[in-house]
Amino acid sequence: MLEVSAGHRSDKSLAGGKESHALRRRACERETALVLSVTELLPQDVERVDRHLPLNRLDQHLESDSTYLIAWKDERPVGHAHIAWSGTHLAVPEIQDVFVLPEQRRRGIASELTRAAEADARSRGWDRISLSVSQDGNPDARQLYEKLGYVDAGLEPVRVSGEILIRGRPLQVDDTLVYLAKSL
């Protein structure tokens, strides 16, 4: 289990009567006092987690060699990441389906899920991990992964278009994915 804790102080400095954006953000982060644990999804937790989070790859998880990591805050699931251990584009573990509840975003949860996936891969003897991100549709995610040390994997972008099945239900998609990788 991985635990992350932010401080409780809320120092506020005023510059000319107004707080700067950075100081307000730091004060807000301190006031939220994030305490987070990341665990592997256990069979007895599937129903409870599924009520709060969209476990889009649950069918794949149950039928293949994969792991779902769940981020918990105060006993409530607030995010997840899926790790595919085989059958991936780069033939290394691939982080997929990273999701954080909208009201919990920008608090480091996706970063901690990614780090936990990396640690899991490292503990299984892997020296590299990958993920894909929308080429144009999610610049914040790409920026996050690059900040965490992911670089372009050298593959041509992959176009995903048409109908796919998510937990047995059809979903129309039209996106271009870029693969990123990181040495562990």
What is the CA angle 116-62-38, rounded to 5? 20
Average pLDDT, the chain: 83
Q: What is the mean pLDDT of residues 2-9?
A: 37
Report d(CA 160, CA 58) in Å as an integer: 20
- Write down the pLDDT at residue 17: 41
Full DSSP string of 23-68:
HHHHHHHHHH--EEEEEEPPGGGHHHHHHHS--TTHHHHHHSSEEE
User: Can you tell me the distance from the alpha carbon of 126 to that of 180, in angstroms, rounded to the nearest whole number?
Assistant: 16
CATH value of 38-183 in 3.40.50.80, 3.40.630.30, 3.40.50.150, 3.20.20.80: 3.40.630.30
pLDDT (mean) for 166-184? 90
d(CA 149, CA 86): 22
Residue 94: pLDDT over 80: yes
Would you kindly state where each structural domain of the chain is located, as residue ranges?
A: 1-33, 38-183
Residues 95-143: pLDDT tens digits?
999 999 999 999 999 999 999 999 999 999 999 999 999 999 999 999 9
Crossing angle of helices 109-123 and 139-147, in 10° steps, is 50
* Cβ atoms of residues 131 and 145 within 8 Å: yes
pLDDT at 145: 98
Residue 117 to residue 54: CA distance in whole angstroms: 18
pLDDT-based confidence at 15, cuts 50/70/90?
very low
Q: Kindly state the average pLDDT of the residues 67-85.
A: 94
Under 8 Å between Cβ of 85 and 60: no
Q: What is the pLDDT of residue 14?
A: 35
Q: How many helices (H) and strands (E) does the chain have?
A: 5, 9
Stretch 9-35: mean pLDDT = 42
